[in-house]
Amino acid sequence: MTAAPARPGRPVVQAAPRLQARAQAERAARRKGRARRAGIVFVVVGPLLLIGWLLLFSSLLGVRTVVVTGTDRLTPDQVRAVADVRTGTPLARVDTGSIVRRVGALAPVAQVSVSRGWPGTLRVQVVERTPVAAVVDAQGVELVDSSGVPFATVPGVPAGTVRLQVAHPGPRDATTRSALQVLDDLPATLRARVRSVQAASPASVTLVLRDGRQVLWGGSGDTAAKARATEVLLRMPGTVFDVSRPGVVTRR
């Protein structure tokens, strides 16, 4: 038999080079994708890292000036010394709470606040205690605020300051608090006439006027009625006026 002639077939193409080229293309695409993502991350995160470094570690945004305001009895230098902030400390890392506690521990300080002023200023705002009375004892004259807190020693009772006479002056003493509350509640016209406030107990406060007359006030409360009764009684003869019970007042 005669063999049949062979049919022409498709050309044989080796698969390995083609698959290899495709794999190389995919690897290149992945590398480009990673590079693109890394570039995006650098563009976004890089400035944040730089800002973080500037804020937390660089002296470029460090403390250059500590500005103190609100002082009278204290000096700004005294407050700066207690604040204890080193020049160059990154402003963002300054522990403002610690500064508030240290400065607030100074006797004349009633309130303190600390704020940052970029690029390099730290501001310390102080509110000092206001004297409302003076305690005189063997150690000298001590000024106290409306809460009975002693905060300054002075040579003598300042003009216009009421003298406080209680057995155990201090912010935790109920008699002290009652006497100062009575003083704080008085109308301005009556308070201006008071030279000293005395108290043996929270309910037995006595006002000694600048002319020597006394007003037995009792405890705090019923201020308006007691003040009206006092104004009437002071127009009458007498040296001691009892308004502790404003419904039944007496004089002698």
pLDDT at 49 over 50: no
pLDDT at 8 over 90: no
Fold of 133-251: Rossmann fold (3.40.50)
- The CA–CA distances, whole Å, from 71 to 13, 64, 113, 125, 246 equal 94, 21, 13, 8, 43
Q: What is the pLDDT of residue 27?
A: 66
- The CA–CA distances, whole Å, from 172 to 22, 147, 151, 168, 175 equal 87, 9, 15, 9, 9
Written as one string, the DSSP assignment of 190-201 is HHTTEEEEEESS
The tokens describing 228, both together, are 């009206």
Q: For 28-32, 66-70, 113-117, 216-220, which range has the lowest pLDDT when averaged over its residues?
A: 28-32
- The pLDDT of 38-56, averaged and rounded, is 51
Please state the CATH superfamily assignment of the domain spanning residues 59-128 in this structure.
Answer: membrane protein fhac (3.10.20.310)
The tokens describing 107, both together, are 């006797």
- The pLDDT of 211-233, averaged and rounded, is 95
The tokens describing 36, both together, are 């693109």
Q: What is the mean pLDDT of the chain?
A: 86
Q: What is the pTM of this model?
A: 0.72
Starting at the edge strand found earlier in the chain, the sheet holding 162-165 runs 150-154, 140-144, 133-137, 162-165, 194-199, 205-209, 214-218, 240-242, 250-251
